[in-house]
């Protein structure tokens, strides 16, 4: 029987094929008629999205579709759920704000996904994404964890009590302190 859990080494089985060039990555997959996606990401750490104009991107060569956060909301698509719910050390559930697949209103980190372009080639999708005009209203942001935890820090999630998701403990503190 294989032993699993905290502190038990996990034997990796996929390394050999990737280290020897025999592995397949998603970028290696090429099927007839396949489309390619390129995600436009936020350059801001915290900002409201005032508007998105994707008309020029939609008119670009090879573009099949452009989707924004508004499309996600209008189509009733859910977000990305947290895969592991925990309670904090006081027994309170962790805060789980919505994580939409495309942000409809407020970006909360550099790289937040704002739109996706679907095109016949990856280059066409990337080039078209550069034609999307996003009007951002930058908001105050924190550049460090210490700053984010201060009482005057801007809130990342409006429905949260603070910027702390949860304060969690696991294991034997006394044994670790020895």
Task: Establish if 10 belongs to a structural domain.
Answer: no
Q: What is the predicted pLDDT for the residue at 119?
A: 99
Task: Establish if 31 belongs to a structural domain.
Answer: yes
**Structure token pair of residue 65:** 């579709």
Q: Which residues contact 4 (CB under 8 A, 6 or more apart)?
A: 10
Task: Establish if 5 belongs to a structural domain.
Answer: no
Task: Establish if 45 belongs to a structural domain.
Answer: yes
Residue-wise DSSP of 16-84:
HHHHTT----GGG---TT--EEEEEE-S-SSEEEEEEE-HHHHTSTTEEEEEEHHHHHHTT--B---S-
Q: What is the predicted pLDDT for the residue at 2?
A: 65
Q: For the chain, which ranges sit under pLDDT 50?
A: none
Task: Establish if 7 belongs to a structural domain.
Answer: no
* Global confidence as pTM: 0.79
Number of structural domains (the chain) is 1
Cα separation of 125 and 61, whole Å? 9
Q: Which domain holds residue 21?
A: 15-177
Cα separation of 174 and 152, whole Å? 34
Q: What is the predicted pLDDT for the residue at 50?
A: 98
Task: Establish if 9 belongs to a structural domain.
Answer: no
Q: What is the predicted pLDDT for the residue at 94?
A: 81
36-41 β-sheet, strand order = 36-41, 113-119, 63-68
Which of 126, 127, 115 lies closest to 52, judged by CA? Answer: 115
Q: How far is CA 86 from the centre of its chain?
A: 20
CB 117 within 8 A of CB 66: yes
For 129, phi and psi rounded to 5 degrees? -60, -30
The residue with tokens 């280059």 is 123
Q: Which CATH number fits the domain that encloses residue 69?
A: 3.90.1170.50
């Amino acid at each position: 029987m294989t032993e699993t859990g905290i502190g038990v080494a996990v034997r990796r089985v996929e390394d050999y094929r990737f280290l020897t060039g025999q592995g397949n990555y998603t970028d290696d997959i090429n099927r007839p008629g396949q489309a390619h996606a390129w995600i436009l990401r936020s350059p801001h750490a915290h900002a409201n999205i005032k508007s998105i104009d994707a008309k020029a991107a939609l008119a670009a060569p090879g573009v099949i579709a452009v989707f924004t956060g508004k499309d996600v909301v209008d189509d009733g698509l859910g977000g990305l759920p947290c895969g592991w719910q925990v309670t904090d050390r006081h027994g309170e559930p962790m805060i789980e704000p919505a994580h939409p697949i495309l942000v409809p209103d407020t970006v909360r980190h550099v790289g937040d996904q704002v739109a996706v372009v679907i095109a016949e080639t990856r280059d066409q999708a990337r080039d078209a994404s550069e034609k999307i005009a996003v009007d951002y209203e930058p908001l105050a942001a924190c550049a460090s964890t210490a700053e984010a935890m201060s009482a005057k820090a801007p809130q990342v999630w409006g429905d949260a009590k603070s910027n702390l998701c949860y304060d969690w403990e696991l294991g034997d503190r006394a044994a670790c302190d020895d």
